[in-house]
Structure 1
């Protein structure tokens, strides 16, 4: 009788020894039906909430593989949690705020898996009992992401052509992005990056957010293309090629007044055309004056064409006058070039005759 009592006492004081470790099935671990009823149902009282995830991992010898998860919405997830060979009689997974039955095992490892990740802010915890008393747990860091449905660029509160010397606001609208705090938006002018913007929004679910950038226009901006790029920076645990979505190209039309292209002191070789360009958007009318009389610029200049000219322009944005002083350089124009080639030809013929 004493022997039976002794055996009974040893069985009840060591519950781990009377349970066979639950078998491990890849991607599916069911809670053992014979798991002791007096074990805690979860890790809510394990470690004070003030302890960070990094501190938890330092004091709790549980290991996760992978240690952090970056998963696209509706993709599968599989994570293995393991404990050292001795000192931990039971291991479990729990997902707070979910009605699912926690997973338990008396083996050294336990897999938590989800066929389709459909939650945006999920915080699974792996915990273990300690033979010396107490429990410990670590939280799995999960980032659920979704690339934007679309990205568009426009000018805020403006449509149509822009005016030179004015300030405008470019806006880049990113639709249904998650998590927006991992998003970097870059504005471009052609292939030149104008600036990068980040969001202060910590919402984990998909949101639509607008990013803005102020620009000052000049005549050089006429015809350039503006666009923006949305890039999810998910770190080394994320996709090898971070998700990037770009907007359409927005071609700018900038209205500007008459602008003289050539210098105010213009040197022209004798025999060449006298030309000086005036640009504007829309293109202005241009009239050349010399000594108060309207003139047509010569296609073959000579010394008589030297002097001061007045360029009178008129356009949609007003009118402007420019003064151009023309200097004719002798001996370098088309006529002199022809004479030089003619003399060389004669000299070449004479050399042949001498031979």
Structure 2
């Protein structure tokens, strides 16, 4: 009974042994695939943009204005891209109603505000805002210019120092004022100016010290006030001149007695 079953047992053992000695491939799990679609991020908050920044396509024409007080003024603001739903002006003087068009004109019959700063703005569909400021200078030529000597009540003495005074009345803006003193047609030094942030009309005094000699007896002194408003200003600069003052000397006699100005008697 046992003999017939032995070959079968040996055969099974051989099969099992052969199977265990053969290499068995090992399955390694594949690395996970990277995400191909990123989750939507939160958009950055809207921030105001100036006209010079990217994304704020505002243009003002003219780009700079120089206007005499009381004169009319006109400026156009336009937006060159889509995506802006409202265009408007912010000015201290009367302004047009905001519009959904691509341009908006600001027009005033008379400039009556000193230090005005017109601003054009645009509202974006996404809620952002951008704006651009129109540089505007309001000027007024001098109302009057006069010249005089400080504390001089009689004839001048040779060799003494005297002070010329040029008074410029009711001028704006004073920072753009240039004053030059003259003797005859000769300019005395460089034009004078001051640093000031005052934009309303003021009266300003300029001085110049001189030490004239006897050869300048009878010379005429005067001063000139000019508003230098740059390339955007009027073609003819606003120039106002003073009256002329004449110098008279009381000469000291040399080897003689003085009879009158300029005439001497020898001893």
Taking structure 2 as the reference length, the TM-score comes to 0.76
Of 227, 240, 244, the match for 1:245 = 240
Secondary structure, aligned partner of 1:159: coil
- The structure with higher relative contact order (CA 8 Å, sep 6+) is 2
Report the CA distance shift for 1:145/1:99 in structure 2 as closer, same or farther (over 3 A): closer
Partner residue, 1:67: 63
Aligned positions, number: 218
Following superposition, the deviation at residue 255 of structure 1 comes to 1.9
Hey, what does 2:162 align to over in structure 1?
Answer: 168
- 8 Å CA contact retained: 1:120, 1:144: yes
Within-5 A mapping of 1:213-252: 213-252=208-247
Matched, 1:282 2:253: no
3-state SS of the aligned residue for 2:52?
A: helix
**In 2, Cα distance between the equivalents of 1:281 and 1:81?**
72
Q: How far off its partner does 1:285 sit? A: 3.2
Partner of 2:19: none
Match of residue 150 from structure 1: 144
Partner of 2:48: 46
Shift of 1:282: 1.3
Superposed, which structure 2 residues align to 1:1-20 within 5 Å? Answer: none
Residue 103 of structure 1 deviates from its aligned partner by 2.9
Specify which of 78, 82, 89 is matched with residue 82 of structure 1: 78
Gaps in structure 1 of 5+ consecutive residues: 1-44, 48-54, 261-277, 288-311, 313-355
Within 1, Cα distance between the matches of 2:205 and 2:175? 13
Distance 1:218 1:281, change over 3 A: farther
Q: Give the CA deviation at 1:199.
A: 1.7
Equivalent of residue 179 in structure 2, options 170, 177, 185: 185
Moved more, 246-255 or 55-64: 55-64
Provide runs of 4+ in structure 1 moved above 4 Å: 99-102, 278-281
Structure having the higher Rg: 2
Residue aligned with 2:113, SS: coil
CA shift, 1:242, in A, is 0.6
Q: 1:223 & 1:66 partners in 2: Cα distance?
A: 51
The separation in 2 between residues aligned to 1:151 and 1:198, in whole angstroms, is 15
SS of the residue aligned with 1:181? helix
- Measure, in 2, the Cα distance between the counterparts of 1:108 and 1:250: 60
Q: Which runs of 5+ in 2 are unaligned?
A: 1-46
How far, CA to CA, are the matches of 1:202 and 1:167 in structure 2? 33
Say what the alpha-carbon RMSD is for the aligned residues.
Answer: 2.3
Give the CA deviation at 1:213: 0.8
Task: Give the TM-score, by structure 1 length.
Answer: 0.57
Say whether the 8 Å CA contact 2:94–2:108 is kept in structure 1.
no
